[in-house]
Amino acid sequence: MAPEIDAGVCIGCGKCVEVCAEDVFFGTKGFGSIGGEIPEVTYPEACFHCCLCVEACPTEGAIWLSTPLAMSVAYKDSPLGQGNPRRVT
């Protein structure tokens, strides 16, 4: 599943656009310099669920990423209790 952005919470800083290695998001040149510009998820199929966009976002709840159940096996909790904080759907 692709990242989802809550436009009511997003501050338009553009950090998600900057850190995304797969260019899942669309942002204009100089994105983030225009206040309130919300990025668009234009290439959802390119997302490989690295979660960098969620970690880079300074506003909690503005962007989230659900890991499909089929991919969650790789993120199973370890015996030491150090699991992955991503949501599994």
Give 37-44's long-range contacts (Cβ < 8 A, gap of 24+). 37/12, 38/5, 38/7, 38/10, 38/12, 39/5, 39/10, 39/12, 39/14, 41/2, 41/3, 41/4, 41/5, 44/1, 44/2, 44/3
Residue 30 or 2, more confident: 2
pLDDT in tens, 24-71: 987 655 665 566 688 888 888 888 888 899 999 999 999 988 777 776
Residue 71 or 81, more confident: 71
Domain ranges of the chain: 4-88
What global pTM score does this model have? Answer: 0.68
CATH code linked to domain 4-88: 3.30.70.20
